[in-house]
C-alpha cells in the first residue's frame, strides 16, 4: 500500500509524451506493493503500470529485471512487458527516480488460494524456470545466506523486543543453515518473491506473473520452497498438504525435481522462511509511521520456519518416492 | 491514500456477479482518497470504481449522495454514476461495509492548477449549483458553524500543541464567525469539498467532478469560498488573484453572484478556512500511525484564514463592481 513519490503535472505530461501511446486519460496511484510507487496509467492506446523505483531497488539491477521480463515474454510467459519510448529506452527517469512503464496484465490476485490455484502456480513456476534457463544476465541473490546474516546483525539487539527468544532462535537456525546450505543444486533464474499478490488469475486460470524485482540467479528449488511457504499454509498456521501436493505435482509436469532437490526441500523451506522472517523483522523495527505501509507480522514466518524444522522428508509435503 | 477494508475472494465474486457487468478482469486498490476504501474494477463490460464506505460516512446519508450523482448526471453534469445491480439496487453491502459500484470517469486531477484550470472549475461549479437546484432531497451541512464548535471542543486542550496560540485564535475567530455568519444567502446543493483531487481534466478541459460524500444543502457562495481556498493559493502560501478572478468570472458566466453573496465572500472564505483548519487539526491529534493516511498540515489553513481576515472587500479577489 504505497505511493511514495508524487509526480508533478509537467513531469508526467513530458514522460507520457516521450512514448508513442497517445494522450493520458487517467492516472491513479495503486495501493499495492510495498517496495515501489505504482500508478495505473490509461492512455488513448491502452492501460499501463508506471513504476517509480524507490530506494530499496538498486538502480544497477533494473536492466536485469526489465530484460528478464522481455526475455520471459518472448518465450511465452504471461508477464508485463516494458514499453520502450520513442528513442527505444525502457528504463527512464521520472520525479528523480528510475522509472519504467510496463504493460497492464489482466487478472486478480487471490486472497485465499485454492488447491486449483496452487496447481496453476506450480505449473507456471516451472514454466518460468524453464523459460529463464537461457537468460544471459546474472544477478546474485542478495537475500540468501550471507544477506540473512547481515540482516540479523542489523536487528540482533532488537530481536527479543519483537518476539521474546527470537535472537537465540535465529542464531541457532542461521548456524545450522550455514552448515547445511546446499551448493550443488540446479541453478537458474528464480522469481524469489512469488507470493499470491504477484500471481494473477482469471477465475481458476492463471493469467500471469508480476513483480520481478527480487528475481536473481539461485537454486531453482529454493523458489519452490518460497512458494510452499507463501501458498500452502492456512490462515490459522496449519500446513495444507493437499495444496503442497498440487503445487509440487504440477511443477513436476513441466520440470522434474532431482532427488537432491527433493532431499534438500525441507532445508530450503527453512531458509526461505528465514529470509522472510528476517526482512519482516527488519521492517518491523525500522519502518517509521510515515511510510504508509501495513506491517507484516514476523511471527507468521517464525511459525513456518519451526514447521519445516520438524519435517523429516519431502514426503511430508505430499509427494511420493521418485 | 487508503484501503482500509480487505475484500475476500468469495465476497468479491458474489458482489460482481450481482451486477450485469460480466466477469471480473482486474481489481486494484487505489491509493487516493482518505475517507473510504476505493478499488478500481475492470470487468468484461468496462471500468468501475468500487467504494466501501468507512466509518466517517454515515450510512443514512448514502442515499442522498448516490441519488445526487444520478440527478446531476441526468442534467448533463459529468460525474460518476452509481451502477444498479440486477435487482435495481445502487447501495449495497460488501465486507461488512456499505458499498457502491460507480462508473469510471476519465481524466486526471491536476497537482498544480493553472489559471485555465481555475476558469474551468468556476464554470463547472456554477453548472453543478444550477443542476442541483431541483434536487429534492435535503442534507444539513454537518461541518458548518455548529460542527466547527463541536470539532473545536474535541481538540481544544490539544490545540496549542499543534500550533502555539491556536486555541485562542480559533476561539476568537469562532466568536466572530458565529456573530456574523449569514443566514439569508441563496441556498442549494453544494459539493463542499471541491479540491483539485476531486476535479478531473483531460489536458485543459475539465472532464468531470467526483467524490460527493460531503455534499449537502448550504449557501452556494460557501462552496465558492471553499474553492477559492483550495485552488487559488500558491504552494508558498501567497494568494493568486489572477486564479481567483478566473474562477469567479467563469462561475458568473453561468450563475451571477448576488451583491449580498459578494459582500459576504471574505467572511465565507474565513469560515471555509476554519472548516479545514479544524478537521485537519482534529485528524492531526486523532489519527493513529496505523491509519496509513498522510497527515495534512493544519498550518496551511490557518494561514489562509488569516489572509481572508485581512480582506476588506470581494474586490480583493480580483473581480470588480457588479
pLDDT digits (tens, 9 = 90+) for A6-64: 899 999 999 999 999 999 999 999 987 667 999 999 999 999 999 999 888 899 999 99
pLDDT higher than 70, residue B291 = no
Model confidence pLDDT, tens digit, residues B24-34: 999 999 987 66
Contact across the interface for A108 and B29, Cβ inside 8 Å: no
Q: Extract long-range pairs of B80-83: CB within 8 Å, 24+ residues apart.
A: B80/B49, B80/B104, B80/B105, B80/B208, B80/B210, B83/B19, B83/B21, B83/B48
| Residues of A whose CB is below 8 A from B10 | 112
Contact across the interface for B26 and A203, Cβ inside 8 Å: no
d(CA A116, CA A136): 33
Tell me the domain boundaries of chain A: 9-103, 115-317
Q: Name the CA dihedral angle for A204, A209, A210, A211, rounded to a multiple of 10 degrees.
A: 120
Indicate the pLDDT class of residue A304, thresholds 50, 70 and 90. Answer: very high
Least Cα separation, residue B239 to chain A (angstroms): 20
What letter would DSSP give residue A82?
B
Pairing of strands A46-52, A97-103: antiparallel
Please say whether the dihedral angle defined by the alpha carbons of residues B129, B40, B284 and B244, taken in this order, is positive or negative. negative
Half-sphere exposure of A167 (CA within 13 A, CB side): 10
Instruction: Quote the pTM value.
Output: 0.89
* Integer angstrom CA distances of residue B238 from B138, B232, B247, B307: 36, 9, 16, 9
Contact across the interface for A107 and B203, Cβ inside 8 Å: no
Grid cell, residue B47, equals 471500468
Number of other residues whose CB lies within 10 A of the CB of residue A291: 16
Q: Could you tell me the fold of the domain covering B9-104?
A: Phosphorylase Kinase; domain 1 (3.30.200)
Q: Which of A69-73, A112-116, A248-252, B52-56 has the lowest mean pLDDT?
A: B52-56
| Residues of B whose CB is below 8 A from A28 | 30-32, 40
pLDDT higher than 50, residue B115 = yes
Looking at every residue in chain A, the average pLDDT score rounds to 94
Q: What is the pLDDT of residue A202?
A: 95
Closest partner CB to A1 (pick from B25, B42, B292): B292
Contact across the interface for A2 and B31, Cβ inside 8 Å: yes
| CA-closest candidate to residue A120, choices A231, A7, A239 | A231
pLDDT higher than 90, residue B35 = no
| CA-closest candidate to residue B255, choices B128, B138, B136 | B128
Least Cα separation, residue B15 to chain A (angstroms): 14
pLDDT higher than 70, residue A2 = no
- CATH entry 3.90.1200.10 includes domain B109-317: yes
Closest partner CB to B3 (pick from A9, A31, A40): A31
Say what percent of chain A tops pLDDT 90. Answer: 89
Specify whether the CB–CB gap between B284 and B300 falls below 8 A.
no
Please say whether the dihedral angle defined by the alpha carbons of residues A215, A220, A226 and A228, taken in this order, is positive or negative. positive
Grid cell, residue A95, equals 520525479
Q: Extract long-range pairs of A36-44: CB within 8 Å, 24+ residues apart.
A: A36/A2, A36/A4, A36/A213, A37/A2, A37/A3, A37/A4, A37/A5, A37/A97, A38/A2, A38/A3, A39/A3, A39/A7, A40/A104, A40/B28, A40/B30, A40/B40, A41/A16, A41/A101, A42/B106, A43/A16
Model confidence pLDDT, tens digit, residues B150-180: 999 999 999 999 999 999 999 999 999 999 9
Indicate the pLDDT class of residue B295, thresholds 50, 70 and 90. Answer: confident
pLDDT higher than 60, residue B242 = yes
Q: Which of A177-181, A288-292, B60-64 has the lowest mean pLDDT?
A: A288-292
Half-sphere exposure of A85 (CA within 13 A, CB side): 16
| Longest CA span, chain A | 62
Specify whether the CB–CB gap between A107 and B25 falls below 8 A.
yes
pLDDT higher than 50, residue B1 = no
* Integer angstrom CA distances of residue B164 from A294, B22, B167, B271, B273: 32, 56, 8, 21, 18
Model confidence pLDDT, tens digit, residues A203-221: 899 999 999 999 999 999 9
Specify whether the CB–CB gap between B41 and B49 falls below 8 A.
yes
Number of other residues whose CB lies within 10 A of the CB of residue B228: 27
| Residues of B whose CB is below 8 A from A202 | 23-25
CATH class entry, domain A115-317:
alpha beta
Interface predicted TM-score (ipTM) over 0.95: no
Q: Which of A3-7, A189-193, B197-201, B224-228 has the lowest mean pLDDT?
A: A3-7
pLDDT higher than 80, residue A321 = no
| Residues of A whose CB is below 8 A from B29 | 1, 30-32
A-B C-beta contacts closer than 8 Å: 87
- Taking an 8 Å Cβ-Cβ cutoff, which residues of chain B contact chain A? 1-3, 6-10, 12, 23-32, 40, 42, 104, 106-108, 110-112, 202-203, 289-290, 292-294
Least Cα separation, residue B134 to chain A (angstroms): 32
d(CA B155, CA B282): 6
| Residues of A whose CB is below 8 A from B202 | 23-25
Model confidence pLDDT, tens digit, residues A263-278: 999 999 999 999 999 9
Contact across the interface for A32 and B29, Cβ inside 8 Å: yes
d(CA B201, CA A157): 52
- Architecture per CATH, A9-103: 2-Layer Sandwich (3.30)
Amino acid at each position: 500500500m504505497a505511493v511514495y513519490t508524487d509526480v508533478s503535472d509537467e513531469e508526467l505530461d513530458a514522460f507520457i509524451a516521450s512514448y508513442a501511446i497517445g494522450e493520458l486519460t487517467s492516472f491513479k496511484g495503486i495501493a499495492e506493493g510495498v517496495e515501489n510507487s505504482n500508478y495505473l496509467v490509461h492512455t488513448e492506446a491502452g492501460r499501463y503500470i508506471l513504476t517509480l523505483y524507490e530506494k530499496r531497488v538498486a538502480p544497477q539491477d533494473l536492466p536485469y529485471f526489465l530484460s528478464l521480463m522481455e526475455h520471459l515474454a518472448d518465450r511465452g510467459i504471461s508477464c508485463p512487458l516494458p514499453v520502450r519510448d520513442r528513442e527505444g529506452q525502457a528504463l527512464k527517469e521520472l520525479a528523480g527516480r528510475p522509472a519504467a512503464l510496463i504493460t497492464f496484465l489482466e487478472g486478480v490476485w487471490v486472497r485465499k488460494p485454492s488447491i486449483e490455484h496452487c496447481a496453476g502456480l506450480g505449473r507456471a513456476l516451472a514454466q518460468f524456470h524453464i523459460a529463464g534457463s537461457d537468460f544471459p544476465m546474472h544477478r546474485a541473490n542478495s537475500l540468501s545466506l550471507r544477506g540473512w546474516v547481515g540482516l540479523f546483525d542489523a536487528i540482533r539487539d532488537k530481536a527479543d523486543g519483537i518476539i521474546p527468544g527470537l535472537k537465540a532462535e535465529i542464531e541457532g537456525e542461521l548456524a545450522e543453515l550455514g552448515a547445511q546450505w546446499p551448493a550443488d543444486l540446479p541453478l537458474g533464474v528464480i522469481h524469489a518473491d512469488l507470493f499470491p499478490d504477484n500471481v494473477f488469475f482469471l477465475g481458476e486460470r492463471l493469467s500471469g506473473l508480476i513483480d520481478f524485482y527480487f528475481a536473481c540467479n539461485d537454486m531453482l528449488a529454493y523458489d519452490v520452497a518460497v512458494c510452499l511457504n507463501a501458498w500452502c499454509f492456512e490462515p490459522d498456521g496449519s500446513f495444507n498438504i493437499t495444496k503442497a501436493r498440487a503445487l509440487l505435482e504440477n511443477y513436476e509436469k513441466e520440470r522434474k525435481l532431482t532427488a537432491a532437490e527433493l532431499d534438500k526441500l525441507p532445508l530450503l523451506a527453512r531458509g526461505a522462511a528465514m529470509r522472510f522472517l528476517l526482512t519482516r523483522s527488519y521492517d518491523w523495527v525500522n519502518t517509521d509511521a510515515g511510510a504508509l505501509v501495513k506491517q507484516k507480522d514476523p511471527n507468521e514466518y517464525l511459525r513456518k520456519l519451526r514447521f519445516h524444522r520438524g519435517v523429516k522428508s519431502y514426503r511430508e509435503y505430499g509427494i511420493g518416492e521418485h
